[in-house]
Structure 1
């Protein structure tokens, strides 16, 4: 297949709702703040991550997507949770139910976020739990993931 999985699926089903697998990760600095990206598509703050490609594991997806969206090479330390009960509509009209694997990550390359920007990421910044609570543009799904991370209590069935 010469095109990415989402493009292939969308060529078959248009904007109809489909289930897609995503993986991402939480990288904390020495102060316990977590790295978030200001997304290019939705203009919201989010945990870096993205769609799993055919033949890719969720760990490979999390590490690849994190590098693409932050410029930071990472290694997954542990699976934090799997979230399966969220639906989204993207700005282009695509509808999805997401299955999201979230990992705790550690950096294996230098963390340089000051001037990083690309089509998917407008800005990167480390935030504390209190600072995240003050952000208006964080989805309910990402708030739940971050709340669970900060409390260390991961519920089943999301």
Structure 2
């Protein structure tokens, strides 16, 4: 949790916050998708997080990608914006958030996979038709939107979308 969000939480407690942020879809050469096993909820998700004051959505995506995976990208492509009920989450400690999240595809990646900031317990690439059963809904929504926009169906063995869990 950023210092900014911590300061808000000290003032507002667990009440719903509207947070702006970014998440990043990373594909390897085999077209597998990078997921992180999150330390806070013990579920798989995409790298990403909340915007810091003064950042752009792209800055946020690049910073979060590095902090959570050790990877850098110089080129991001906008995929979609998530908001409303599809981007609501209640954390185990009771904190509630409604996100406004920009989803980006990282088109060029540099660096070595590493858990830099402690937010990732594990990093792994998964086939689109074999995502872990404990993948967060927001990640599934982001991946499905990317697949629809790219019209990627041949990699999914006849399924139109990744099955939500």
Partner of 1:83: 82
Partner of 2:25: 26
CA distance in 2, matches of 1:17, 1:116: 29
Q: Note if contact 2:37-2:43 (Cα within 8 Å) is conserved in structure 1.
A: yes
CA distance in 1, matches of 2:150, 2:33: 17
CA distance in 1, matches of 2:47, 2:36: 6
Structure 2 regions of 5+ residues with no counterpart?
152-165
Q: Which runs of 4+ in 1 moved over 3 A?
A: 115-118
Partner of 1:99: 100
CA distance in 2, matches of 1:43, 1:64: 22
Deviation at 1:108, TM superposition (A): 4.2
CA displacement, residues 65-84 of structure 1 (integer Å, 9 cap, x when unaligned):
00000011113421100000
Aligned residue among 139, 142, 147 for 2:139: 142
Deviation at 1:106, TM superposition (A): 3.0
Deviation at 1:153, TM superposition (A): 5.9
Q: Note if contact 1:40-1:119 (Cα within 8 Å) is conserved in structure 2.
A: yes
Q: Given the superposition, is the C-alpha separation of residues 90 and 56 from structure 1 closer, same or farther in structure 2, using an over 3 Å criterion?
A: same
CA distance in 2, matches of 1:130, 1:101: 24
Matched, 1:8 2:7: yes
Structure 1 regions of 5+ residues with no counterpart?
none
Q: Note if contact 1:83-1:98 (Cα within 8 Å) is conserved in structure 2.
A: yes
Helix, strand or coil: the match of 1:102? strand
Helix, strand or coil: the match of 1:131? coil
CA displacement, residues 90-146 of structure 1 (integer Å, 9 cap, x when unaligned):
122111111110101134423x33x646520000011111011xx221122211111
What is the RMSD of the two structures over their aligned residues, measured on CA atoms? Answer: 1.8
CA distance in 2, matches of 1:35, 1:101: 17
Helix, strand or coil: the match of 2:66? helix
CA distance in 1, matches of 2:23, 2:142: 11
CA distance in 1, matches of 2:54, 2:43: 29
How many residues are matched?
148
Deviation at 1:150, TM superposition (A): 2.3
